[in-house]
Amino acid sequence: IRLLFRKDRESYLCFYRILGFYPRNIQLYEQALLHKSTSLRSEKGRPLNNERLEFLGDSLLNCVTAINLYERYVELNEGNLSRLRSSLVRQQALYEIAQKLDMSSFLRLGEGELKAGGFKRPSILADAMEALFGAIFLDSDFETVRRVITQLFTDMMKGLDPETFGKDAK
């Protein structure tokens, strides 16, 4: 695979700005920003894109968000915690974070997707965010990805109103 970014200081600085740490395996992050529309393949013929990392990142996002809500809202039951989690891990929330991080300037799309305005589609940027979480986990550990996700979602967590989701009726 031809590197999307040269392994130079600029690439590492870009990811440092987004993540707050320097990546060890820059190729994971490059893959996280590689949309399937590029149709790239490895030497063995496997697709090179962010879909597998997206799968992993989606699970990590749900897990970290569940832990954070569980610890923060001890008075809420399972159903209400699930509704709060759903309000945080939705596509629009990820899209807004991706926009703040200017992810579209790093994301690589195929020609067809570019012509269709892919950078404006919330699903593409949201999926790239999830893939980025997967890359962080594989490059470091669970605590690092938890810290990054928690930091990125801090403002949204503060904006939650648990009263709208109810309290346990004990």
**Contact (Cβ atoms closer than 8 angstroms) between residue 105 and residue 36:** no
130 included as an active-site residue: yes
Q: Residues 54, 58, 127, 139: which is the catalytic one?
A: 58
Structure tokens at 114: 């570019």
**Contact (Cβ atoms closer than 8 angstroms) between residue 2 and residue 31:** no
Based on the number of CB atoms within 10 Å of its own CB, is 139 exposed (0-12), middle (13-18) or buried (19 or more)? buried
Q: Residues 113, 127, 130, 139: which is the catalytic one?
A: 130
What angle, 0 to 180 degrees and rounded to 10, lies between the N-to-C axes of helices 142-152 and 51-72? 70
Q: What CA–CA distance (Å, rounded) separates 104 from 118?
A: 9
127 included as an active-site residue: no
Q: For the CA atoms of 48, 26, 155, 120, what is the dihedral angle to 10 degrees? A: -40
Please identify every residue annotated as catalytic: 58, 130
